[in-house]
Structure 1
Amino acid sequence: MSPARPPGVRPSNPGRLATYFHVHLVSDSTGETLNAMAKAVTARFDGVIPIEHIYALVRSEKQMERVLQEVASAPGVVLHTLVDRDLREQLEEGCRRLDMPQIGALDPLVGAMSRYLGAALSTRIGAQHALDHDYFNRIAALDFAMAYDDGQGSLEQLEGADVVLCGVSRTSKTPTCIYLAHRGIRAANVPLVPGQEDGERLTRLKNPLVIGLTVSPDRLVQIRRNRIDNLNANPSSAYTDQEAVRDETIRARRAFERRGWPTIDVSRRSVEETAAAITNLLSEHRNHKIGTTW
């Protein structure tokens, strides 16, 4: 006899392997931290698809009552990040009545940090979203990434970057720069265009770290063909031709090697993974321990 499924968990349609369940994310702030944690956790389970219910900016007893009504109508697991003690107790008591599991997502980390530091917790809601120096630095980094995208800007202007990404078309230069900007890193990007820009001018930069983004020819052809299909555009033969693309990527790699730039192969990396590798290289660069290939 198979064990009973917990409330809110149901198998998918016959013939499919996925299992669906409800997850309620309750936060008194924007909910970004909680949402990221929930995605990271559920990604560890194969064949499991969460049905997310997000409740952000929950800051009153009345709002919490509505949350509990929603939880009761779609039983599942409740994850929360709540600073206010009264609201937290209201949610915990409501979940006990409903016999629903509830988890304070940051509790283990916050508890361990508090014990280590011997410091009391802040009761300020959304402290990580304060309009402080870091916040305005991120805004400035976003402005920078948009102003100096796709080869825009003089060398003098690019000197204001923390990092300059260089690569052939469709190596995720722009989205990576935007992602880095959200971390307060000023990133610009310069494309390598066959017969035109080859990145030579970037060798005169003194302050930024220049990183070459590489990609396998097969992967690049696939990405470019998908891009053209989505735009319903007429493909340029050189843009998607296997041999032309192979030559283009080889020239790019040789240019990076000739200039001694560190490189990152983005063939099977997400933007987040590429950004993490860039952050590591930037840290090494600032400590004068630059690596070569990631």
Structure 2
Amino acid sequence: MTQFHLHLVSDSTGETLQSMTKAALVQFEGVAPIEHVWTLTRTVRQLDDILDSIEQKPGLVLYTLVNKEMRDVLEKGCQKLNVSCSSVLDPVLAAFSSFLGQEIQQLPGRQHILDQNYFGRIEALNYTMAHDDGQMSEGLNEADIVLVGVSRTSKTPTSFYLAHRGFKTANVPIVPAIPLPQELFSLSNPIVVGLTTSPERLSEIRKNRLLSLHETVDTDYVDRERIKEEVIMARKICTRESWPIIDVSRRSVEETAAQIITLFTKRQEQAGVR
């Protein structure tokens, strides 16, 4: 593994910078950065301390600083230390500035202002927590998205990821011999999406779940033939109700959520056309 020091300097929480860095690093094999994360960097004195650390542990420096004076101090300091220093937002900001015909405003942390979108995400998270795993089925029509599927098909983590993106998301398990809530079949507002996976993978996931709880794995819950029947039953229900189905076997939660958002957006566009 190739190790190197990676300094991430932000004038806000650093979430944007860390997300972009993570997305870039997965494209490189055999690298293990030693991350030094510097958040809420808004004074030259803070930059002096950061530059001292960079001098002791030189490496790549990436930053999201919008204040010109702060940027100049960091860039000139890195130039003196002969270390690479790059602003990850410059190409994006330049593209927006050119397209919109507006100057870039130097307002650090503006994306975290407590605006309508912020409170919308909080409301979505509260709704999702209250409607996890089939709870409060009487409020399903208030959702933006309803996920259905057999046990251990990533319904809960996907629901909370979608909630973090601002979508009120409920999830309802499909369990043999237990009828689904009737409200699920007469929803007018949310899109219903079925999640599924291969019986083999589902069996292994369920075994690991039971082992983590120190419970026996000799049950129908992990039997592949029974699981196969569950998966087929769930698919039949989704097909009958014309609910789209996503196979999560080789998808991360983020990838599954992205496809669900695409389905949701298309549905909204179609509703708008009508």
* Category of TM-score, reference length = shorter chain: over 0.9
What is the DSSP-based 3-state SS (H/G/I as helix, E as strand, rest coil) of the residue aligned with 2:270?
A: coil
> In the alignment, what sits opposite 1:34?
17
Is 1:80 the counterpart of 2:80? The answer is no
Conservation of the 8 A alpha-carbon contact between 2:137 and 2:181: no
Pairs within 5 Å for 1:80-119:
80-119=63-102
Conservation of the 8 A alpha-carbon contact between 1:191 and 1:197: no
What is the DSSP-based 3-state SS (H/G/I as helix, E as strand, rest coil) of the residue aligned with 2:258?
A: helix
Is 1:262 the counterpart of 2:230? The answer is no
TM-score by length of 1: 0.89
**Offset, 1:197:** 3.5
> In the alignment, what sits opposite 1:207?
189
Conservation of the 8 A alpha-carbon contact between 1:28 and 1:81: yes
Conservation of the 8 A alpha-carbon contact between 2:8 and 2:18: yes
**Offset, 1:154:** 3.2
**Offset, 1:93:** 1.0
Distance 1:197 1:57 in 2: 51
Distance 2:97 2:248 in 1: 39
Question: Where has structure 1 moved over 3 Å in runs of 4 or more?
Answer: 197-201
Amino acid at match of 1:284: K
Distance 1:73 1:170 in 2: 47
**Offset, 1:199:** 5.8
Conservation of the 8 A alpha-carbon contact between 2:137 and 2:183: no
Conservation of the 8 A alpha-carbon contact between 1:198 and 1:255: no
- Selected match of 1:189 from 143, 167, 171: 171
Conservation of the 8 A alpha-carbon contact between 2:140 and 2:183: no
What is the DSSP-based 3-state SS (H/G/I as helix, E as strand, rest coil) of the residue aligned with 2:132?
A: coil
> In the alignment, what sits opposite 2:31?
48
For 1:64-104, what per-residue CA distance to the aligned partner results, in whole angstroms no more than 9, with x for missing partners?
A: 11111111121110000001111111111110111000000
Is 1:233 the counterpart of 2:215? The answer is yes
Conservation of the 8 A alpha-carbon contact between 1:28 and 1:82: yes
Amino acid at match of 2:19: A
Distance 1:48 1:169 in 2: 36
**Two-structure CA RMSD over aligned residues (Å):** 1.3
Distance 1:40 1:154 in 2: 37
> In the alignment, what sits opposite 2:130?
147
What is the DSSP-based 3-state SS (H/G/I as helix, E as strand, rest coil) of the residue aligned with 1:287?
A: helix
Pairs within 5 Å for 1:217-256:
217-235=199-217, 237-256=219-238
TM-score by length of 2: 0.96
The structure with the greater share of residues assigned to helix is 2
> In the alignment, what sits opposite 1:122?
105
- In structure 2, runs of 5+ residues without a counterpart are none
**Offset, 1:114:** 0.8
What is the DSSP-based 3-state SS (H/G/I as helix, E as strand, rest coil) of the residue aligned with 1:38?
A: helix
For 1:223-250, what per-residue CA distance to the aligned partner results, in whole angstroms no more than 9, with x for missing partners?
A: 1112122222223511111111111111
**Offset, 1:130:** 0.8
